[in-house]
Structures are given as C-alpha cells and as structure tokens.
Amino acid sequence: MLHGAPLPGWTGRFFHSSNMTFAHWDIDADAADLHEHHHEQEEVWNVVAGEVDVVVDGVAHRLRRGDAIVVPPHAPHAALIARSCEVLVTDFPVREQLPGVRSPD
C-alpha cells in the first residue's frame, strides 16, 4: 500500500489491482481544494462520510455520504471541500502517476 498527501489537509492510501487504482482519502474541513485537471482514466468518486463538491466539465455536484459520481476520461474536474470528508476514488485503467504518493516507511 502507498501513502500520500498531495495537498494540505489531504491524506491518502492507495493500491492497484491489475486494471484499477484505488485511493482512500481523508480530507480535513480546511483542506486545500483540488485544482481543475484531467487525465486519461475514468474516475469514480464515492463519498463515505462528509461532503465534497466535485466539479465536472464546469458543473458542480454536491456529494454526501453514499453518493457517487463518474468522471469520464479526459473530462476536466476539480474538488471543492465543503466539510471534512472521507472519499474512495477509483481510476480505470491503472493510474501510474499519483501526485504526492510515497512508498510506506
């Protein structure tokens, strides 16, 4: 398992299957927002606790516990932190480059 903190207030754990990358994020209420970006992978955000606004192609979607959204490949997207949250993010296919990720100590 890999660990990472690409932005202030974000703490993540990651692992890969043969075809997917899984991230488990714990995000503080005062965490930095995730800037708009895009990548070749399809991405699914699933909120376990709290709230986050996921902006896809310029449209904001407020996600709460139990909600999920699919971000299509190459779609510009961002995350605006509404309050502390726990989020599972899955990428398909595998996302080799993960910002702020380090190997376990």
Q: In sequence order, what are the residues at sequence separation of 6 or more whose Cβ sits closer than 8 angstroms to the Cβ of residue 16? A: 22, 94
pLDDT in tens, 33-56: 999 999 999 999 999 999 999 999
Q: What is the mean pLDDT of residues 7-26?
A: 93
Confidence of residue 72 (pLDDT cuts 50, 70, 90): very high
Confidence of residue 5 (pLDDT cuts 50, 70, 90): confident
Mean residue pLDDT of the chain comes to 92
CATH of 2-102, one of 3.90.1150.10, 1.20.58.740, 2.60.120.10, 1.10.10.60: 2.60.120.10
Question: How much is the pTM?
Answer: 0.89
- What is the predicted pLDDT for the residue at 96? 81
